[in-house]
């Protein structure tokens, strides 16, 4: 019988633009200290560490946590592209549920460079790239960063299928900036109008600059533990992981001539279905969602993949305001990747942090009233998608 995994403590630092942050090991250690303080545990009580990052040497995790102490414990370095943080969380949960550890630390961090899409790591092989002919056949290839071409291509395909206005994608950025304005940890705290989003330079139609997440430096951390450990620490009602699933690419990602499928739609839909089945709930039971809005097009697609609205009704969902406060689901109250920022290895753990604060009622101006179930979606092309459901009794 598996054991429940509690999120005993969380912490993060304010995200920053490249060139304006501390070194990665300083950011990671500061986030980890915040999480351990929140959990009321010392580093000596941590049995294992899962350190997530994308750009860096093979043992950056050790460099980061050695700032906390030298206790000889196992440190696992995790890299799963943009889903790295949630992958590290999943590994930590498995250690707790499997009885291998009572308390583990998960830390995600990234020190990115300006123009990250063309940085020194850009020449690494990408398992998606050999299948790029899907876009060449269907959408045509313009100039623009590779990731923007893929997600922008998916946005074009969605527009052609459903007649969606370009302004609909832009409105998602307006919502993101409005939410981020209330988040002191976000990289962008200034609101934008629809006109400003639409007038920003085009990156890859229908995406403009303000519809693409920025390169970001940052770190976040979480302390996971068993029920027995939580009781020992006097935590009577902690947030816990109610269900979790990871999927990788299906044949449909590359063999159905669909950019929507290539950027992870089927991965997300399948992972969400597994989570709902594990937990015995449906999307209608959820109050707050942190989803992977690397580009506005992906947020729109993910509404449907997660079952927040029927397929083909994403545009109505946006203009009805069902993705924000006063609507059906508050999506990305943190501002999401678009406005909070996207330090690749930290993103999944930062999503966890926001949702834990929401379920505790500690999200201050961003608080979603009555939040009891929170859904997390973290996507990395190449590919992997992790969907996690958090609850609090």
pLDDT of residue 172: 98
pLDDT of residue 145: 85
Q: Which domains does the chain have, with CATH numbers?
A: 5-115+214-391 (3.40.47.10)
- What's the predicted TM-score (pTM) here? 0.94
pLDDT of residue 119: 37
pLDDT of residue 1: 60
Q: What is the 3-state secondary structure (H, E, C) of 28-72?
A: HHHHHHHHHHHHCCCHHHCCEEEEECCCCCCCHHHHHHCCCCCCC
List, for residues 227-283, the tens digit of each pLDDT value.
999 999 999 899 999 999 999 999 999 999 999 999 999 999 999 999 999 999 999
Active site residue 82: yes
List, for residues 72-117, the tens digit of each pLDDT value.
999 999 999 999 999 999 999 999 999 999 999 999 999 998 864 4
| Higher pLDDT, residue 43 or 126 | 43
pLDDT of residue 114: 81
Pick the catalytic residue from 82, 103, 217, 385.
82
Share of the chain above pLDDT 70, in %: 92
pLDDT of residue 123: 43
Find the mean pLDDT for residues 294-304. 98
């Amino acid at each position: 019988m598996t054991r429940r995994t509690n999120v005993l403590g969380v912490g993060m630092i304010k995200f920053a633009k490249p060139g304006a942050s501390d070194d990665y090991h300083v950011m990671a250690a500061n986030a980890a200290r915040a999480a351990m303080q929140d959990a009321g545990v010392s580093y000596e009580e941590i049995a294992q560490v899962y350190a997530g990052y994308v750009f860096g040497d093979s043992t950056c995790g050790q460099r980061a946590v050695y700032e906390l102490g030298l206790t000889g414990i196992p440190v696992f370095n995790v890299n799963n592209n943009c889903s790295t943080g949630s992958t590290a969380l999943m590994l930590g949960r498995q250690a707790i549920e499997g009885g291998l550890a009572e308390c583990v630390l998960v830390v995600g961090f990234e020190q990115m460079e300006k123009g990250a899409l063309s940085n020194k790591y850009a020449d690494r092989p990408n398992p998606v790239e050999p299948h790029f002919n899907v876009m060449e056949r269907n959408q045509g290839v313009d100039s623009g960063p590779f990731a923007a071409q893929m997600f922008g291509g998916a946005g074009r395909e969605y527009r052609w299928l459903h007649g969606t206005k370009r302004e609909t994608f832009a409105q998602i950025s307006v919502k993101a900036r409005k939410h981020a304005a209330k988040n002191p940890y976000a990289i962008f705290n200034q609101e934008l109008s629809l006109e400003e989003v639409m007038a920003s330079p085009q990156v890859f139609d229908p995406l403009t600059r303000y519809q693409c997440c920025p390169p970001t430096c940052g770190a976040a951390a979480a302390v996971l533990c068993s029920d027995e450990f939580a009781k020992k620490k006097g935590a009577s009602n902690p947030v816990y992981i109610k269900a979790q699933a990871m999927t990788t690419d299906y044949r449909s990602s590359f063999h159905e001539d669909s950019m929507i499928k290539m950027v992870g739609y089927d991965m997300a839909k399948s992972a969400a279905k597994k989570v709902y089945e594990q937990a015995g709930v449906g999307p209608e039971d959820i109050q707050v969602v942190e989803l992977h809005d690397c580009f506005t097009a992906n947020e729109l697609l993910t509404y449907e993949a997660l079952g927040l609205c029927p397929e083909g009704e994403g545009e109505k969902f946006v203009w009805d305001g069902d993705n924000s406060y006063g609507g059906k689901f508050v999506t990305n109250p943190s501002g999401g990747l678009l406005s909070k920022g996207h330090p690749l290895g930290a993103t999944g753990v930062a999503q966890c942090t926001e949702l834990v604060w929401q379920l505790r009622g500690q999200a201050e101006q961003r608080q979603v009233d009555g939040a009891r179930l929170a859904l997390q979606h973290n996507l990395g092309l190449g590919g992997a998608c992790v969907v996690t459901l958090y609850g609090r009794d």
